[in-house]
Structure 1
Amino acid sequence: MIFGPTPLAEARGAVLAHTVRLNRRVLKKGTVLEAADIAALQEDGHASVVAARLESGDVPENEAADRVARALLGPLLTRSRASTGRVNLFAETAGLLVVDAEAVNRLNRIDESITLATLAPYLPVRAREMVATIKIIPFAVPGGVLDVAESLAQQARPLLSLHPFQPLKVGLVLTELPGFKEKVMEGAVEATRDRVEALCGTLLPPERCRHEASPVSDALTRLRRAGAQILLVAGASAVVDRRDVGPAGIVRAGGAIDHFGMPVDPGNLICLGHIDGTPALVLPGCARSPKLNGIDWVLQRLFAGLAVRPADVMGMGVGGLLKEIDTRPLPRAEAANAPVPAQAPRRARRVAALVLAAGRSRRMAPLNKLLVPDNESVPMVARVVDNVLGSHARPVVVVTGHERERVEAALAGRPVLFAHAEDYAEGLSASLKAGLAALPPGLDGVVVCLGDMPLVAGPLIDRLIAAFDPEEGRAIAMPTFRGKQGNPMLWSLEFLPEMMGITGDVGARHLVGKHADRVVEVEVADDAVLKDFDTADALRKAPGFSTVA
C-alpha cells in the first residue's frame, strides 16, 4: 500500500485518509475516490489529497475485517457489517464466553495491521452483548498476512466460544448450630437463589439439618431424588478441612472430594466434590453475601456445561483478588462494612430513547395517525413504544403534544416517561427539544425515534447501540438500507447544545453533514428504517395494518 500526498490526477480509486470539507459537501475519511469526488476537490481548489493507494495483493480494510470475522464466527455468535475496517461480534444468547487467550495473542502478533480485542475469558455475557471486535488498522492488509490470520482463526480449538447457561435445578443444604441466627440462614437462601436465577436456574426448596455429617448426607440424598443437578452445602461453621462436616457429608452420601480451597478472595474456603457425576460443593462463608466471590466463578462454569477440575480452580489466581486491597488489613467484620474504592467497571453505553409523538397528523386528518389501531387493535404509537422497549435503550421518554391525554392513555401501563411539548405546533424541533430536556443525567447518548415508524424493531435499535462509540469516532449511529439513510438515529450527548438550538419544523439530520466524520452507518436488511406513514392508504399497505379504515 502506498500512503501519502497524492496528486488528484492519480487519486481515482485511492482511499481518502482524512475527512475533507468542501463548500457543498463533505468527503469522509475512507471514501474511495471516484471521478465526481476528484472533480469536486478540483473545483474547491485542491491539487492533491492524502490518500492510500492499494498495490497488487492488498486486501481493502472492510474485506479483510469481513474475512477474519467469518473465520472467527462460531455457534451462538453473530456479527455486524464491516465498516471502517471493523466488525463486531455479539452473543446470540446469555452464556459464558470462553477465550483462547494465547491464540488471540498469536493472532495479534501476526502483523500490526490486524487486531482482535475480546472480553476477558470466562466472562458471563447477556444476549446481544458485544464480545469481541476486529479492527484492521490501515486501509488495506497484504493478502499473505490475511491468509495467515484466517488460518489461525480457523484452528480446531475455537478462539472464541459461547456456552449458553442451562436451566439447571440446584439443591441447597443449610446446616444449623445452637444460637445460629435465623436472619443469617434467610440471607444465605436469598443470596443463593439470586445467583441461581441469574444463571437461568431454579433453586429447589432448601433442606435444613444439624451441623453433622450424617444429616447432611441424608439431606443431599433427598435433594438428588428431587432432581437436583448441582448440590450446595452452606455450613453453619466455615469448612476448614476436606474432612470437615460438609465434605464428610458428601463422602457419606457416596461422593468424593476433588479439591479444597481456591486462589480467589473472597471465596478461598470452597470445597469441590461430586456424587455420581453431580457436582457437590461446600460453600465458603462469603457465599451468604450477594457480592462477587469465588463461588460465582464456579457456578458460572457449571451452568455453562463446563467441567470444573482442580487444575481449573488452581488457574483462577490471576484476577482472583476480588476484594479491594486496602480493606485486607482490616478485621473481617470491619472490612465487610468498609466503603468500596472507586473502580472503572465494564458497562454498556447508557443510551436513552425518545419517541416523538406530538405531531398533529394533518395529512391523515381527521384521524390522529398515532392512535390508529393495527390488526390487533394496538394503536400505532403503542406498537412503536413496544418496539423501543424491546431494545436495551433506557429510559424511554415519550414526547406528547397534540391530543396529549389520548396518547398517554394509549400507553397506559408501559414503563415510559412522558415529556409534554407545550409548543408542539411550532414543529418537529419543539418536540425534539422537549424530549432532550427531559433526559436524566449520566447518559452517553439518545436514540431519536419517530412515532409513525411502527416497523422499526428493538433488535435494530440494539444494532445502533452496539455500533455507537464516541471515543472511537462513532458518535452518530445512522441506519441505512441499500445506501439510503433512515431513522431512528442515535446521537452522542456531545451534540446536545447544537440540537437544543434547532428551530422550525426540522429535526437534527442536518447536523449529520456538519459532523460527517463522526457518523457510523449501520446497513440493515430491510427498509423499515425508511418507512413512516402519513396517509391511511400508505398505512393500510404496512404489515399488520390491513384493517385501517
Structure 2
Amino acid sequence: MKKIAVEQSVGKILCHDITAVRDGFKGRAFARGHVIKQEDIPNLLDMGKKYIFIWEDQENEIHEDDAALRLASMAPVKGTFYSGPYEGKMTLTAAVKGQFRVNKTLLSKLNTIGDITITTLPDHFRVEPDMKLAGLRIVPLTTEKKQIEQAEVICAQSPIPLFTIKPYQKLKVGIIITGSEIFNGRIKDRFEPLIRKKLSYFEADILDIVICDDIPDMLQSIASTFIRKDVDLLIFTGGMSVDPDDITPTVMRATGAEVITHGVPIQPGNMFMLAYLGNTALIGVPSAAIQHSTTILDVVLPQLFTGERFYKADFVAMAEGGSCLGCEICHYPICTFGRY
C-alpha cells in the first residue's frame, strides 16, 4: 500500500472504501477499485482527504477486504448469510428464526489478535430472519497475513464453532394450572391465555390444558398422564412460592425428575423451577408471570424450544442482568434482562 497526495492520484486505483459523513449521511462515497478522476479531487478534499492509498502487493500484508472475507470463511453458520465486504467489513445476517449462540471464549481469543475486531449480538439472543448478527473486520486498511492465519488456526482447532443458530423445534406441550380458587370457579384463570400467547411464538403442539385443585394426588395423576404421552415440555403454573400449601414443587420432585433449579437469581420470577425426566422438561412458572410482561419464562422458553438442556450454571450466570428495570414500554429482548 502506498500513500500519495490526492492531487497526484488521477488515474490511480483506490485500494480502500472512503466513507463520507455529512448532512446526516454516513456511507461509502468511493469504493475500493475506483479509478480516481480529475472531478473527484474537489470532493476528496472536501472530505478532508489530502492523501489516498493505492495498493502495492506486499508478500506479508493483506488488504482489509480480503481479511474480512477470510474471517467470514472461517466462521460459516447454517441458517445465515454473509454480505460484503463493505467498507472493509463482512456482515453476518440471520436467514431463519432461532436462538443465536456465541462461543464467547473463542470470540475473546480472536479479538485479542492484533488488528482483528469481531462484534456480535449477545449469546442466547432471540433472532429473526434478516436480523444482523455480527460484523467481522480488521481495524487498519491492511494487516499482517499471519494475524489472519492465526485466527483461522484457532477457529479450525475449536470443537465449538464461533457462531451457531439453534432453530426452534416443534414440541409437544402439556399445561397444568394449579389452584383451588381457579378449580372451584372462585376466580378467573389468567394463566392459560398468557401461556398460549408465549407459546404461540414457537411451534408448540399443546396436547391439553388441565386445571387442578390443590390436592397432591390429583396433581400427581395429571402429571403422570402427560408424561405417559411423552410430552417434551410439561408446564406447571401456580403454587410455586414457599407457603406450606404450595404443592407444585413437591409434586414435580415426586415424578422422579432431576431438579436443575428451584429458585433463580432473576427478578421477576425468583421462584421458577426446572427439572428433567428423561427427555421431558418440567417447569414451574411462578405467579410473577401474570403480573409482569417479561419474566424468567421469556428467558428460558427459546432455549427449551431448541432442545438444548439447561444446567445450574446457566441460571447462576443470569444473576448479572437478572434484574428487570420494569420499563413502562417493554423492549425485551432488546435490553439487558436475562443475559446468560
Q: TM-score range by the shorter chain?
A: 0.7 to 0.9
Name 1:309's counterpart in structure 2. Answer: 311
1:143-292 paired onto structure 2 within 5 Å: 143-154=145-156, 155-178=158-181, 186-235=189-238, 237-240=239-242, 245-289=247-291, 291-292=293-294
CA contact (8 A) 1:242 1:260 kept: no
- What displacement does 1:76 show? 1.9
Q: Which runs of 5+ in 2 are unaligned?
A: 21-27, 336-340
One-letter identity of the residue aligned with 2:143: V
Structure 2 SS opposite 1:221: helix
- What displacement does 1:317 show? 1.1
- What displacement does 1:243 show? 11
One-letter identity of the residue aligned with 2:206: L
- What displacement does 1:141 show? 2.5
Name 1:67's counterpart in structure 2. Answer: 70
CA distance in 1, matches of 2:44, 2:213: 89
One-letter identity of the residue aligned with 1:8: Q
The sequence identity of aligned pairs, in percent, is: 21
- What displacement does 1:39 show? 5.5
Structure 1 SS opposite 2:208: coil
CA contact (8 A) 1:18 1:50 kept: no
- Cα distance change of structure 1 residues 127 and 272 upon mapping to structure 2, 3 Å threshold: same
1:379-390 paired onto structure 2 within 5 Å: none
CA distance in 2, matches of 1:344, 1:220: 32
- What displacement does 1:134 show? 1.6
Structure 1 SS opposite 2:259: strand
Name 1:93's counterpart in structure 2. Answer: 96
Name 2:12's counterpart in structure 1. Answer: 12
Aligned residues: 322
- What displacement does 1:80 show? 1.3
Name 2:53's counterpart in structure 1. Answer: 52
Structure 1 SS opposite 2:299: helix
Find the partner of 2:106 among 82, 93, 103.
103
- What displacement does 1:244 show? 5.3
- What displacement does 1:137 show? 2.8
CA distance in 2, matches of 1:224, 1:44: 71
- Cα distance change of structure 1 residues 42 and 174 upon mapping to structure 2, 3 Å threshold: closer
Name 2:298's counterpart in structure 1. Answer: 296
Name 1:134's counterpart in structure 2. Answer: 136
* 2:328 maps to 1:340: yes
CA contact (8 A) 2:271 2:286 kept: yes
- What displacement does 1:162 show? 0.7
Q: Which moved more, 1:204-213 or 1:118-127?
A: 204-213
- With structure 1 as the length reference, what TM-score do the two structures score? 0.52
RMSD between aligned residues: 3.4
- What displacement does 1:280 show? 0.9
Structure 1 SS opposite 2:320: coil
Q: Which moved more, 1:275-284 or 1:176-185?
A: 176-185
One-letter identity of the residue aligned with 2:52: A
CA contact (8 A) 1:261 1:269 kept: yes
CA distance in 1, matches of 2:185, 2:305: 29
CA distance in 1, matches of 2:330, 2:71: 37
Question: What per-residue deviation string (whole Å, max 9, x for no partner) do you get for residues 373-428 of structure 1?
Answer: xxxxxxxxxxxxxxxxxxxxxxxxxxxxxxxxxxxxxxxxxxxxxxxxxxxxxxxx
- What displacement does 1:74 show? 2.2
- Cα distance change of structure 1 residues 196 and 178 upon mapping to structure 2, 3 Å threshold: closer
Question: What per-residue deviation string (whole Å, max 9, x for no partner) do you get for residues 476-504 of structure 1?
Answer: xxxxxxxxxxxxxxxxxxxxxxxxxxxxx
CA contact (8 A) 1:262 1:314 kept: yes
CA distance in 2, matches of 1:319, 1:171: 30
One-letter identity of the residue aligned with 2:269: G
CA distance in 2, matches of 1:241, 1:115: 51
- What displacement does 1:164 show? 0.3
CA distance in 1, matches of 2:288, 2:181: 21
One-letter identity of the residue aligned with 2:75: L
Structure 1 SS opposite 2:74: helix
- What displacement does 1:81 show? 3.1
CA contact (8 A) 2:182 2:188 kept: no
Q: Whose radius of gyration is greater, 1 or 2? A: 1
- What displacement does 1:2 show? 4.8
- What displacement does 1:136 show? 3.2
CA contact (8 A) 2:168 2:306 kept: yes
CA distance in 2, matches of 1:79, 1:301: 25
Point out the structure with the larger helix share: 1
- What displacement does 1:340 show? 2.2
CA distance in 2, matches of 1:206, 1:169: 12
One-letter identity of the residue aligned with 1:230: L
Name 1:84's counterpart in structure 2. Answer: 87
Question: What per-residue deviation string (whole Å, max 9, x for no partner) do you get for residues 120-176 of structure 1?
Answer: 111111123221122333322321112122233333211111100101011111112
- Cα distance change of structure 1 residues 310 and 212 upon mapping to structure 2, 3 Å threshold: farther
Point out the structure with the larger strand share: 2
One-letter identity of the residue aligned with 1:340: E
- With structure 2 as the length reference, what TM-score do the two structures score? 0.82
CA contact (8 A) 1:242 1:271 kept: no
Question: What per-residue deviation string (whole Å, max 9, x for no partner) do you get for residues 154-202 of structure 1?
Answer: 3321111110010101111111224779596532111111111212223
CA contact (8 A) 1:216 1:250 kept: no
- Cα distance change of structure 1 residues 49 and 306 upon mapping to structure 2, 3 Å threshold: same
One-letter identity of the residue aligned with 1:12: K
CA distance in 2, matches of 1:157, 1:54: 37
